[in-house]
Amino acid sequence: MIGIVDYGAGNLRSVQKALEALGRRAIISGDAAQLDGCERLILPGVGSFGAGMAQLKARGLDKYLKERVKTTKLLGICLGMQFLLDKSYEDGEFEGLSFVEGSVERFTQGKIPQIGWNRVCELKTPLFAGIEEGTYFYFVHGYRAVCEDRYAAAKTDYYVRYPSAVYAGNAYGVQFHPEKSGEAGLRLLKNFCEMS
C-alpha cells in the first residue's frame, strides 16, 4: 500500500490514478493511523511553499514525516519536493522539512513559471533505473532547488542547470510531475515503489 499524504493541497487523485495504472493500491489520507499502514509515502503538492508548510504543520504531518522517513521511503513531487529542503524564499522565508540541505529560490531568467516538457539529465539513484539520460518530463514551477551536488539525483537546464530531483537517506524528490509524464513518469513511480 502506498500512502499519498493529504494536507489540503490538490493534485492527489492524479497521483493515485498513476499508481493504480501500475497495479498498486494507494490511499489518500492525512490521518497518521492510516498512513502508518503504508510501506511507501508520496508527498505531492501544488501552490505556495508557505501555505503548504502551514497546512502540514497544522495537521502535525511535518513531525509525522520526520519520524516516518527514518524507516520509510518518501517521494516528494513538485512542491512536495521543495518541502524536503531547509527553507524557501517564496513570498518570504519559510522553513521546510530539512531532509535535504539547501533552499528553494525563484528563477531569475526566462518565462516564470517554467511550464512544459524539459529534459532530465545526470541521472542518479535507483529512482531513474531504466530511464534514459535526457528523457523529457513535465514541469510547472517558478522556484528551484539550490543544494550541493551530493543531494542532486538529476538535473535540468532552464537558463541555469539546477537539481530537478534530490535525495537524502530515505527521502527522494522530483520537481517535475511523473504522474503527468507518460511512460517515463510511470517508470519512475514503479521504480520508487520497488526500491529496496
* 3-state secondary structure at position 142: coil
Nearest CA to 155 out of 126, 185, 134, 130 is that of 134
Rounded CA-CA distance 57/151 in Å is 25
Q: Which CATH class is domain 2-194?
A: alpha beta
What confidence score (pLDDT) does residue 115 get? 97
Query: Are the C-beta atoms of residues 104 and 146 closer than 8 Å to each other?
Result: yes
Beta pairing, strands 85-88 & 100-106: parallel
Angle at which helix 49-58 crosses helix 61-68, to 10 degrees, equals: 80
What confidence score (pLDDT) does residue 126 get? 96
Q: Domain residues of the chain, as ranges?
A: 2-194
Q: Which of 38, 78, 147, 193 is catalytic?
A: 78
Q: Which of 141, 147, 179, 193 is catalytic?
A: 179
Tell me the whole-structure pTM to 2 decimals.
Answer: 0.97
* 3-state secondary structure at position 174: strand
Active site residue 177: yes
The ranges of the chain with pLDDT < 50 are none
List 104's β-bridge partners, or say none.
88, 145
How far apart, in Å, are the Cα atoms of 101 and each of 8, 41, 70, 84, 145? Answer: 26, 21, 16, 9, 10
Active site residue 78: yes
Question: How confident is the model over 157-179, as pLDDT tens digits?
Answer: 999 999 999 999 999 999 999 99
Active site residue 193: no
